Amino acid sequence: MSIDHRLSPEHEELRRTVEEFAHDAVAPKIGEFYENHEFPYEIVREMGRMGLFGLPFPEEYGGMGGDYLALGLALEELARVDSSVAITLEAGVSLGAMPVFRFGTEEQKQEWLPRMCSGEILGAFGLTEPECGSDAGGTRTTARLDEATGEWVINGTKCFITNSGTDITGLVTVTAVTGRKADGGPEISSIIVPSGTPGFTVAAPYSKVGWNASDTRELSFSDCRVPAANLLGEEGRGYAQFLRILDEGRIAISALATGLAQGCVDESVAYARTRQAFGRPIGANQAIQFKLADMEMRAHTARLAWRDAASRLVSGEPFKKEAALAKLYSSEIAVTNAREATQIHGGYGFMNEYPVARMWRDSKILEIGEGTSEVQRMLIARELGLSD
């Protein structure tokens, strides 16, 4: 199959708009937020006014009527400057709003999507638990339906949940065991829990290596009650639902990782042109030139990979393998490019005043979040017809 990865005029206009916003509005301010571990509310509000949180959703729900390729373009341009801002958008769309759009009732869509698309509120996805990270099927959080009150009663703990504790977080979609299958295995469902619901506790922000201007928290539920109507999708189908959400999300993370990798190139080329050593710019040295050539090659290839997966998703074709390939490759080359960028910058690359130091700290989580590199290799092997 031949896929044309050249952007349409509309997609190119969006890319340029976000590129300008990232350099003019994000780059000058984000370093201070990052070092102070503060959530950049004004930047996020501006992203909402631009319609970025509504990019892949229909206009009838307050969206921009775009597609997943549009979302990926925005994420890549933001991540070229900062990953905290990019992951806030990625999680808000792919993990917060997309489950409601894909599986929600019309009433749920009308209630939640317009406010999420505008950036008025953020949504989060409560999947990961302390003792079952990659093994999401081992979910221990439970939800039982109280027939007398018509409410779900939720108990359990979630960890590493992005966008879950900001002042504008509106809901968290939680996966929970709601019953048992005939073979004794867990029957997992997804349930919407609005912020502020009694019994729903949000912990203090984590102290993280990177993504320090994004919000990541542990959540706990103690006899937390929500209406039965807050069930998202079919009861017992939560596991299948989140697999679909993660397949799509891997494309978004790949676009983000590509942006970080390209940002490392941008910063390193600029530095190599101006940094003098032994009487000439270090960019005149072939060793530096070859490093930069390899960095550009990796970023370019990652871009082709995520755009291929996004094009397949948009056209309704199977994309699971391509999404895993893109996520695996782009996340690993993001780490490599960040390491090389730091090396090119020398001692300055170890100083937080330089963006590459932030990129170095932000890159590693890309090999872990939304499916580790090991999980991606497992998925690719399965798609090749190899059983485990």
Burial of 310 (0-12, 13-18, 19+ CB in 10 A): buried
159 vs 132: CA distance, rounded Å: 10
- Only one residue has tokens 């990052």, namely 34
Give the chain's end-to-end CA distance (angstroms, integer). Answer: 29
Annotated active-site residue 147? The verdict is no
Positive or negative torsion for Cα 205, 208, 214, 217: negative
Percent of the chain as helix, strand, coil, to the nearest 5: 55, 15, 25
Q: Cβ–Cβ contacts within 10 Å for residue 235, how many?
A: 17
Q: Which residues pair with 122 in a beta bridge?
A: 169
Q: Do 21 and 46 contact (CB within 8 A), yes or no?
A: yes
301 vs 338: CA distance, rounded Å: 16
71 vs 310: CA distance, rounded Å: 10
- Chain centre to alpha carbon of residue 318: 21
Element (H, E) at 139: none
388 vs 370: CA distance, rounded Å: 21
Half-sphere exposure of 361 (CA within 13 A, CB side): 21
Q: Token pair for residue 45?
A: 């509000």
Tell which residue, 319, 308, 183, has the closest CA to residue 248.
Answer: 319
Beta-carbon contacts of residue 368 (< 8 Å; ≥ 6 apart)? none
Q: Annotated catalytic residue: which of 46, 60, 370, 383?
A: 370
As a three-state string, the secondary structure of 214-235 is: CCEEEEEEEEEEEEHHHEECCC
What letter would DSSP give residue 175? E
199 vs 197: CA distance, rounded Å: 6
Active site members: 370
